[in-house]
């Protein structure tokens, strides 16, 4: 009975079907790559990966594009049909939108609850407010790019509890508070229906439906940005567009559930705009026809559209501006003479900047991408240039460097070099043919579309022939790609010129209508040829045989096959290129967008050295492979290792009895440091520091650490044996470079030896040396074992400990304070592992990392680090400061506090002053990567300006002002970035907040067994990783497991038990997970402990433990193979921050408020003692390293302890260790 | 899988079993027993033979003792070459232990440098390191080091402290990620058949076209005879630390891993034994 009630099986389609197998991601654990997008003068779209060495032709662009503007997750473009297209990059995590509607019922004595409502009542089907009538069948897919995931189903979940009553919630009347229980006075009830729709048009150019049947005015420029404006998940964008008539439009409603946005809103203007640029933050600049620039003001989190324009004069008094490109903190502009200008002094407080600087180079256009990196298209050669040396301190960069990489398919280019006498008409002929294929495909998906695609079947060219007839001089005119080398921008200009009657802005331009006429007939003439589909005209015969064949086949298949269309275009382009430019091999570019391209000072780009010569390309690939692939695999290396070992045999093995020429002796290293002295008043004092190393009697190395200090004029010293040191921990300290040295004794006291070095380098040298020394004395070398216990400090440093076999022994386990921890490079917030050596980490910036099998990294260099398997590791975190204000009756809230008040700019505690200018990044390794910004994501909520109110400092804050509030504060955040190295490889692109790996209790030796790995994305989606094995720990792709609410914690235990915690604090059990069905089939709702919201769960062999938001640790009672959900939660302990249950059901936690000799410490690694198969809850805690620890995982330790029967004495032994037996960690 | 660190250890801890015998012509009070010692390949003769000297002085009169020098099969051994180089050059492919004759008179001034104390060895060693760094990093790394860092390198060698030495030496073996390796590879090619002491030229780890230079390319350039022509019998062995690396071994890797503590890659070209 009880069991039946405690959980409810949900069978809504969302649960059953919410499993979407998405496109396999072949990249696996590849380096994160991002794309630079470009359009060449023929309108072909290309992308260049930051890891790549060639431009990839975007084959699914079914027509020519004029312009593109990219963000990291998508790329927008204007195609030659003047429609706007969106290409959302495919991801393992689909874009889902939850539609909801409410069914309302009222009780009457005759029918009971029925859909017969009072006339004054709300609609029978309505939105949550009841004001909007929305029956199930009123919901339509917003565009052809969406599809329904399943049918409507009832939401059974009410505030984290199952309703058990068909989802009905009851109330006295509408609108009121609802409860899940029916009471005597419940007169109305309602329930929520859900349905998901999914965006399906990924990795393809999907047309954005125009809201009017015909847009008044085709778009000529487009720019996206604004993703840094708010903390919303990636996907929120500001999209600005310019029409040919010079109007500016803003796309409303683009966010991660709605990548297409909802509608265009016109933005009023002081003039007519020719081009616009929107940065990642709050910068939006545009260029007016008259040559001035306008700057949008008032852009902010609540108002991404901004409020007004300010005019900024052209950089040059004589020559107007023609182009502008903005980033986070930079503005670049071009004048009509192609000169390049950099705007000084631009930031979010002063979006207009202060003055222009003329830069070297002449460009046709410029694009500013992520990290304010800059690309341009050269005026002379139309090559894409990258601005080298742009850093946060030197935003204008150093030099222009040409991106010199081939395009894919250029091999055929060189083979066709003997040709040709093709006319431009031939080129267009091929193109039109390609287009007809394109339009067939298009018309399938977009039925009845009159503009755009179907227009294209007839093609631009006939249309342009007709243009004089049906479009008068002020009507928009489709763009005709020209084969001349004229500027693409000036083509737009010239289009515009022809559309307007205004005098030509660029007098040097050709007469445009004439130009169009020249091109059009030639293409028109070519058209019948292509449509005839007959045998090939002799024009193709100059191409080499293979290509000609392909082309022939292709033309035969034109109507059916869309795949080959790309082939034909490559070939035709080739011809066209040859035709027009002869020996001039490099591509001519029209537009470039770096908005999705992530390059920073640490990026290694291979964009600059490749030449078109294929032999040198091969060489550069070789040289790269030398540095990239582990040299270990090379034969020469193997041979050296073999010969060295032969040499040792030959020269040494028979002569071991010979005397050594050099006797081993003591080696001392000395230095000066500061020491946080043990006695009061505690302060830093100068000390002499020495490490004496020697070789012990059995050849083992050992050493002693000496700290010499003066005490009352007397020289004294403190020492620690190297073999007793358990850990060396870097400590966060603003002013000093400090680290702590622990021994078991000092761990018990919670009082380490604290030392400070003069420089960070010196500290790192010492840490590396001491660490090697400690490892030598314990004979630890190489990478950590598969059983290793991993932990992370609050500073993000990663530590690993080799468990002794007796660590989980009964009755005498190895005391936890004797565990030796060594540091591993990198910076993480979460690390999880299992016993076959699969280790994953999650950074502060939610990046997922997989352990590469190396060791060292970070400041461990040379001997303390492996040479391979060490990679660049980055992390980004925020530094927070608080702005505090007090209310007074005269001026309201001001920054004038009471004399007793905290600093008006402070840290969270209010005890330390933290101003925007004096707050530094956590250590010199960190650099600022953003400006200070108000943080709205504070718990408790904020008002629109980010303020939280309270009666007085310090108190609990709320996000709205009441009469009783006299103080307020708001939090400012600034991001900083760390770049270091470590044995971790990034797993792009999905950001995670939690991860769990099945702890395999039995050692599977094959290395090919699939290891179940589950994760939670930082948006709360549940994911299941496919293809994870001991040999391929990164896996291959994500499987999205549907949920009806965001999740925050997940854990998988033996027998495929998957437990998860939703954001609302309730627990879920995933049913029917098995190797055959790795994602299971449905979620079972598990009620949380009374009045507690759970936050984390960990599942071992049979034990399930959870931690709630108030620091209570709960054990799940009654979990059995036949009933894996268990029956109830039993309280085990308080002051627990995190729990990790291992494959042997061992229980480890991070505990707060652990007593030390000088006070309580927070964040201590603790081990549950006396955990046995029959007593899985254990008895008491053993305290290990800490405080300052954030995370521990013992899920790799499957080493069964040596078993022996415990003598009777054991009880008393345990009690000696017991500080507090009864479920209290203090 | 073995790590590249193991190579460094193997190189450092290479030992040559040596039998020292006193020259017949030396005047002794009683017969001198041979002295057996494991000599570190990477060290220098005069630095590690204090025990040998002491051993033989016991049977000699003080007035008969001049500066000590060593000879192998009639060839005076240059103390300023690393021991491993001397062995590979003169005694590779011979039966172990290596038999060295100890002399205390008739110092061959024309062949050998005088070595009055360890400070002479230190000066020689440090000048080699500096020369190597001039080639590798335009002396930037060595000049950035402090006096005590230099001392640490020397003390590491003198006291056979691998960790101590490499804690500092790793800095000399680094290069920025933008470059493909050192500016020039510090190397010396020795041969027995020539009067020239050794070949040393400027040679980059990577060709201007970005091609990785290998041991084979270096030898082809510097000592073409060392590379057998197609179909030809191999005439020479290129020996480093008593092993023959494959010709396709990248030079940069060799320089980082098989250099002597003086930071030079010492390559001995010796004729293939004709038995």
Based on its alpha-carbon atoms, the radius of gyration of chain B, rounded to whole angstroms, reads: 20
Residue A665: what pLDDT?
67
Q: How far, CA to CA in Å, does B186 sit from each of B122, B132, B174, B218?
A: 19, 5, 14, 12
Q: The tokens of A652 are what?
A: 């040494």
b/e sequence B140-166, b meaning 16+ C-beta within 10 Å: ebbeebeeebbebbbbbbbebbbbbbb
Our CA-based measurement puts residue B247 at a distance from the nearest CA of chain A, in whole angstroms, of: 8
Strand partners, A379: none
Which CATH code for domain B117-174?
1.10.246.190
The reply to whether residue B246 touches residue A644, judged by beta carbons under 8 angstroms, is: no
Which ranges of chain A have pLDDT less than 50?
1-31, 411-584, 610-632, 1206-1226
With an 8 Å Cβ cutoff, is B258 touching chain A?
A: yes
Does A665 contact B159 at a Cβ distance shorter than 8 Å? yes
Query: SS3 breakdown of chain A: % helix, strand, coil, rounded to 5?
Result: 20, 35, 45
Q: CB distance A637–B249 less than 8 Å?
A: yes
Q: Which CATH class is domain B178-275?
A: alpha beta
The β-bridge partners of A986 are A849
Residue pairs between chains A and B whose CB atoms are closer than 8 Å: 145
Contacts of A162 (CB under 8 A, 6+ apart): A7, A8, A10, A156, A1085, A1087
Across the interface, of B1, B173, B211, the residue whose CB is closest to A619 is B211
Rounded to a whole number of angstroms, the distance between the first and last alpha carbons of chain B is 37
**Gap between the Cα atoms of A627 and A607, Å rounded:** 16
Contact B17 A651 (CB under 8 A): yes
Give the pLDDT score at A1042: 85
Is the Cβ pair A641, B164 closer than 8 Å? no
Quick check: helix, strand or coil at residue A92?
coil
According to DSSP, the residues that pair with B130 across neighbouring strands are none
Chain B nearest-CA residue for A626: B212
Pairing mode, if any, of strands A1147-1151 and A1136-1141?
antiparallel
Q: What is the DSSP string of A481-525?
A: --SS---HHHHHHHHHHHHS-SPPS-TTS--HHHHHHHHHHHHHH
Please, what are the domains in chain A? 98-199 (no CATH), 210-366 (2.130.10.10), 410-585 (no CATH), 667-728+739-759 (no CATH), 789-794+983-1217 (2.120.10), 877-921+932-978 (no CATH)
- Using DSSP's 3-state secondary structure scheme, residue B157 falls into helix
Bin A533: left if φ > 0, else alpha if -120 < ψ < 50, else beta: left
Q: How far is B37 from chain A (nearest CA, A)?
A: 5
- CATH pick for B14-103 out of 3.30.1310.10, 3.10.20.620, 3.40.50.12780, 3.40.50.300: 3.10.20.620
Which residues of chain B neighbour A631 with C-beta distances below 8 Å?
A: 4, 250, 253
Q: How far apart are CA A733 and CA A754, in angstroms?
A: 11
Q: Which two tokens stand for residue B131?
A: 């020369």
pLDDT for A411: 45
User: In this complex, do B246 and A636 lie within 8 Å of one another by their Cβ atoms?
Assistant: yes
Is residue A478 within 8 A of residue A460, CB to CB? The reply is yes
Place of tokens 């790799």: A1196
How many angstroms away from the CA of A385 is the closest CA of chain B?
Answer: 20
What pTM was estimated for this model as a whole? 0.67
Same fold, B14-103 and B117-174: no
Q: How confident is the model at residue A582, as a pLDDT? A: 36
What confidence tens digit (pLDDT) does each residue in B60-80 have? 888 878 889 999 998 899 999
Of the partner residues A620, A661, A862, the one whose CB lies closest to the CB of residue B170 = A862
Provide the CA B81 distance to its chain's centre, in angstroms.
5
B205 touches chain A (CB under 8 A): no
Q: Are the C-beta atoms of B219 and B268 separated by less than 8 Å?
A: no
Round to whole Å and give the CA distance between A1088 and A1048.
14
* ipTM given for this complex: 0.92
Contact: A640, B258; criterion CB under 8 Å = yes
Residue pair B159/A667 in contact by the 8 Å Cβ criterion: yes
Enumerate the domain spans of chain B: 14-103, 117-174, 178-275
Among A632, A636, A641, whose Cβ lies nearest the Cβ of B248?
Answer: A636
Contact A807, A814 (CB under 8 A): yes
Place of tokens 């107007």: A320
Model pLDDT for residues A347-393, shown as the tens digit of each residue: 878 889 888 999 888 999 999 998 899 999 998 889 999 998 888 78
A98: which 2 tokens? 């939850």
Q: How far is CA A875 from CA A820, A831, A846, A1015, in A?
A: 26, 14, 9, 19
The C-alpha atoms of residue A468 and residue B172 are separated, in whole angstroms, by: 74
In this structure, what DSSP letter does residue A82 have? S
Alpha helix segments (H runs only) across A371-511: 410-415, 424-445, 453-458, 460-470, 488-499
For residue A37, CA distances in Å to A68, A255, A333, A597, A688 come to 7, 22, 20, 8, 58
Interchain pair A863, B170: CB under 8 A: yes
User: Shortest CA distance to A399 belongs to which of A385, A388, A410?
Assistant: A388
Name the burial class of residue A399, with classes exposed (0-12), middle (13-18) and buried (19+) by CB atoms within 10 angstroms of its CB: exposed
CA distance A628 to A632: 11
Average pLDDT, chain B: 88
Chain B residue whose CA is closest to A613: B209
Using CB atoms and an 8 Å cut-off, which of residues 136-195 of chain B contact chain A? 152, 155, 158-161, 163-164, 166-167, 169-170, 173-174, 177, 180
Integer Cα distance of B154 and A344 in angstroms: 53
Widest Cα–Cα separation across chain B: 67
Q: Please say whether the beta carbons of B104 and B68 come within 8 A.
A: yes
- Residue in B closest to A601 by C-alpha: B178
First CA to last CA across chain A, in angstroms? 38
Contact B4 A631 (CB under 8 A): yes
**What pLDDT, on a 0 to 100 scale, did the predictor assign at position A897?**
73
SS3 A226: coil
Q: How many helices (H) and strands (E) does chain A have?
A: 15, 75
CA dist A1105 and A1059 (Å) reads 10
Min Cα distance A652 → chain B (Å) is: 6
The residue in chain B having the minimum alpha-carbon distance to the alpha carbon of residue A663 is B159
Cα separation of A868 and A866, whole Å?
6
| Beta-bridge partner residues of A239 | A224, A251
In the prediction, which pLDDT does A522 show? 38
Using a CB-CB cut-off of 8 Å, the residues of chain A touching B3 are 782, 866-867
Helix (DSSP H) and strand (DSSP E) numbers for chain B: 10, 9
The whole-angstrom separation of Cα A1201 and Cα A808 is: 6
Residues of B in contact with A609 (CB under 8 A): 210
Q: Judge whether B1 is closer than 8 Å to chain A, CB to CB.
A: yes
A chain contacts of residue B7, beta-carbon cutoff 8 Å = 640-641, 644
| Partner-chain residue, chosen from B40, B167, B258, that has the shortest CB–CB distance to A769 | B167
């Amino acid at each position: 009975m009880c069991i039946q009630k405690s959980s409810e099986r949900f069978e809504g389609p969302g649960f059953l079907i919410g499993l979407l197998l998405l496109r396999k991601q072949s990249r696996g654990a590849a380096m994160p790559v991002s794309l630079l997008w470009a359009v060449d003068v023929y309108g072909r779209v290309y992308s260049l990966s930051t890891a790549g060495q060639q431009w990839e032709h975007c084959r699914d662009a079914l027509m020519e594009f004029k312009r593109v503007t990219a963000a990291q997750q998508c790329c927008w473009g204007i195609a030659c049909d003047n429609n706007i297209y969106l290409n959302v990059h495919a991801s393992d995590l689909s874009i889902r939108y939850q539609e909801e509607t409410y069914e309302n019922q009222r009780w009457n004595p005759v029918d009971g609850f029925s859909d017969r409502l009072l006339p004054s009542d709300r609609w029978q089907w309505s939105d949550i407010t009841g004001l909007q009538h929305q029956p199930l069948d009123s919901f339509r897919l917003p565009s052809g790019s969406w599809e329904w995931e399943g049918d409507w189903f009832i939401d059974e979940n009410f505030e984290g509890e199952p309703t058990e009553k068909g989802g009905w919630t009851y109330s006295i009347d509408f609108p009121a508070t609802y409860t899940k229980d029916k009471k005597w006075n419940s007169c109305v009830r309602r329930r929520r229906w859900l349905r998901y729709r999914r965006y399906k048009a990924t990795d393809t150019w999907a047309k954005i439906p125009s809201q009017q049947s015909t847009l008044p005015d085709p778009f000529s420029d487009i720019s996206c940005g604004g993703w840094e404006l708010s903390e919303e998940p990636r996907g929120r964008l500001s999209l600005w567009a310019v029409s040919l008539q010079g109007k500016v439009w803003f796309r409303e409603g683009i966010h991660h559930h709605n990548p297409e946005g909802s509608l265009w809103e016109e933005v009023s203007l002081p003039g007519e705009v020719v081009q616009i640029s929107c940065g990642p933050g709050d910068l939006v600049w545009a260029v007016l026809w008259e040559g001035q620039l306008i700057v949008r003001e008032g852009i902010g989190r609540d108002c991404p559209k901004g409020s007004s324009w300010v005019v900024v004069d052209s950089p040059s008094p004589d020559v107007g501006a023609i182009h502008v490109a903005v980033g986070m903190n930079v503005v670049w502009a071009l004048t009509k003479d192609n000169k390049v200008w950099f705007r000084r002094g631009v930031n979010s407080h002063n979006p207009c900047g202060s003055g222009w600087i003329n830069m070297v180079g002449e460009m046709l256009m410029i694009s500013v991408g992520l990290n304010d990196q800059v690309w341009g298209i050269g005026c002379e050669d139309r090559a894409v240039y990258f601005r080298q040396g742009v850093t946060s301190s030197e935003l204008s960069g150093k030099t222009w460097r040409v991106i010199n990489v081939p395009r894919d398919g250029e091999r055929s280019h060189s083979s066709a070099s003997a040709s040709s006498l093709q006319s431009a008409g031939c080129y267009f002929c091929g193109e039109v043919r390609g287009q007809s294929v394109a339009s067939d495909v298009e018309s399938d998906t977009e039925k009845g579309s009159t503009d755009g695609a179907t227009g294209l079947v007839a093609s631009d060219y006939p249309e342009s022939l007709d243009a004089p007839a049906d479009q008068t001089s002020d009507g928009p005119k489709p763009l005709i790609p020209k084969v001349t080398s004229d500027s693409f921008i000036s083509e737009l200009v010239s289009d515009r010129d022809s559309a307007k009657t205004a005098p030509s802005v660029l007098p040097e331009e050709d007469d445009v209508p004439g130009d169009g006429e020249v091109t059009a007939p030639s293409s028109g003439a070519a058209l019948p040829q292509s449509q005839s589909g007959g045998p090939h005209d002799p024009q193709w015969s100059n191409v080499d045989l293979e290509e000609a064949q392909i082309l022939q086949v292709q033309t035969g298949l034109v109507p059916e096959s869309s795949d080959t269309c790309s082939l034909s275009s490559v070939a035709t382009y080739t011809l066209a290129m040859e035709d027009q430019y002869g020996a001039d091999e490099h591509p001519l570019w029209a537009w470039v967008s770096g908005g999705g391209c992530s390059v920073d000072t640490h990026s290694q780009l291979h964009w600059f050295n490749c030449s078109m010569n294929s032999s040198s390309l091969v060489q550069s690939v070789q040289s790269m492979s030398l540095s990239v692939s582990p040299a270990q695999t090379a034969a020469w290396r193997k041979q050296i290792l073999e010969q060295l070992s032969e040499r040792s045999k030959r020269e040494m093995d028979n002569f071991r009895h010979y005397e050594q020429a050099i006797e081993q002796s003591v080696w001392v290293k000395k230095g000066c440091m500061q020491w946080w002295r043990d006695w009061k008043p505690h302060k830093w004092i100068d000390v002499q520091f020495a490490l004496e190393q020697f070789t012990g009697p059995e050849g083992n190395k050992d050493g002693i650490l000496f700290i010499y200090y003066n005490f009352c004029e007397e020289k004294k010293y403190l020492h620690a044996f190297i073999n007793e040191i358990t850990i060396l921990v870097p400590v966060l300290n603003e002013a000093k470079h400090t680290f702590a040295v622990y021994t078991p004794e000092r761990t018990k006291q919670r009082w380490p030896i604290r030392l400070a070095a003069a420089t960070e380098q010196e500290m790192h040298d010492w840490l590396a040396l001491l660490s090697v020394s400690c490892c030598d004395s314990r004979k630890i070398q190489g990478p950590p074992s598969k059983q290793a216990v991993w932990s992370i400090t609050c500073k993000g440093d990663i530590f690993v400990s080799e468990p002794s076999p007796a660590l989980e022994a009964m009755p005498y386990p190895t005391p936890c304070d004797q565990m030796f921890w060594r540091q591993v490079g990198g910076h993480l917030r979460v690390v999880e592992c299992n016993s076959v050596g699969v280790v994953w980490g999650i950074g502060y910036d939610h990046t997922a990392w997989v352990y590469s099998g190396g060791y060292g990294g970070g400041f461990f260099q040379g001997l303390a680090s492996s040479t391979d398997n060490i990679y660049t590791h980055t992390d980004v975190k925020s530094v927070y400061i608080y702005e505090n204000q007090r209310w007074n009756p005269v001026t309201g809230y001001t920054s004038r506090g009471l004399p007793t008040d905290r600093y008006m700019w402070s840290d969270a505690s209010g005890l330390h002053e933290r101003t925007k200018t004096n707050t530094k990044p956590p250590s010199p390794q960190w650099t600022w990567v953003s400006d200070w910004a108000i943080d709205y994501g504070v718990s408790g909520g904020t008002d629109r300006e980010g303020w939280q109110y309270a009666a007085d400092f310090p108190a609990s804050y709320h996000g709205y002002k009441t009469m009783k509030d006299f103080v307020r504060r708001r939090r400012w955040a600034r991001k900083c970035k760390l770049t270091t190295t470590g044995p971790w490889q990034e797993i792009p692109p999905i950001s995670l907040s939690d991860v769990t790996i099945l702890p395999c209790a039995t050692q599977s030796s094959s290395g090919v067994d699939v290891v179940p790995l589950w994760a939670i994305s930082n948006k709360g989606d549940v994911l299941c990783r496919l293809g994870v094995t001991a040999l391929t720990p990164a896996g291959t792709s994500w499987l999205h497991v549907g949920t009806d609410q965001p999740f925050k914690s997940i854990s998988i235990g033996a027998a495929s038990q998957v437990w998860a915690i939703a954001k609302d604090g309730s627990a879920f059990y995933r049913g029917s997970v098995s190797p055959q069905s790795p994602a299971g089939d449905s979620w079972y709702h598990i009620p949380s402990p009374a009045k507690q919201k759970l936050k984390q769960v960990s599942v071992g062999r049979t034990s399930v433990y959870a931690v709630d938001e108030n620091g209570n640790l709960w054990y799940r009672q009654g979990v059995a193979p036949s009933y894996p959900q268990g029956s109830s939660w039993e309280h085990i302990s308080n002051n627990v921050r995190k729990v990790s249950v291992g494959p042997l059901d061992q229980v480890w936690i991070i505990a707060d408020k652990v007593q030390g000799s000088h006070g309580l410490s927070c964040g201590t690694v603790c081990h549950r003692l006396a955990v046995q198969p029959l007593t899985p809850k254990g008895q008491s805690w053993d305290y290990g390293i800490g405080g300052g620890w954030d995370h521990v995982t013992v899920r790799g330790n499957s080493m069964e302890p040596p078993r022996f029967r415990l003598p009777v004495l054991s009880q008393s032994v345990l009690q000696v260790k017991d500080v507090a037996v009864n479920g209290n960690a203090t | 899988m073995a790590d590249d660190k193991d190579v460094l250890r193997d190189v450092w801890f290479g030992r040559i079993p040596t039998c020292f015998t006193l020259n017949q012509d030396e005047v002794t009070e009683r017969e001198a027993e041979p002295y057996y010692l494991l000599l570190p390949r990477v060290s220098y003769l005069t630095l590690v033979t204090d025990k040998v000297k002491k051993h033989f002085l016991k049977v000699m009169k003080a007035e008969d003792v001049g500066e000590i020098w060593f000879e192998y099969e009639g060839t005076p051994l240059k103390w300023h070459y690393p021991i491993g180089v001397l062995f590979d050059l003169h005694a590779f492919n011979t039966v172990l232990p290596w038999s060295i004759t100890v002399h205390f008179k008739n110092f061959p001034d024309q062949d050998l440098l005088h070595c009055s104390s360890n400070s002479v060895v230190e000066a020689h060693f440090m000048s080699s390191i500096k020369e190597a760094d001039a080639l590798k990093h335009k002396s930037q790394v060595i000049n950035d080091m402090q006096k005590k860092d230099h001392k640490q390198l020397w003390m590491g060698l003198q006291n056979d402290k691998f960790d101590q030495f490499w804690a500092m030496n790793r800095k000399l073996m680094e290069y920025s990620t933008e470059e493909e390796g050192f500016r020039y590879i510090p190397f010396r090619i020795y041969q027995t058949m020539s009067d020239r002491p050794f070949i040393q030229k400027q040679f980059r780890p990577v060709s201007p076209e970005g091609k990785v230079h290998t041991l084979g390319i270096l030898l082809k350039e510097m000592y073409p005879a060392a590379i057998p022509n197609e179909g030809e019998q191999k005439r020479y062995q290129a020996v480093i630390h008593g092993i023959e690396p494959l010709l396709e071994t990248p030079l940069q890797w060799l320089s980082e891993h098989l250099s002597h503590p003086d930071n030079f890659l010492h390559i001995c070209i010796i004729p293939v034994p004709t038995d």
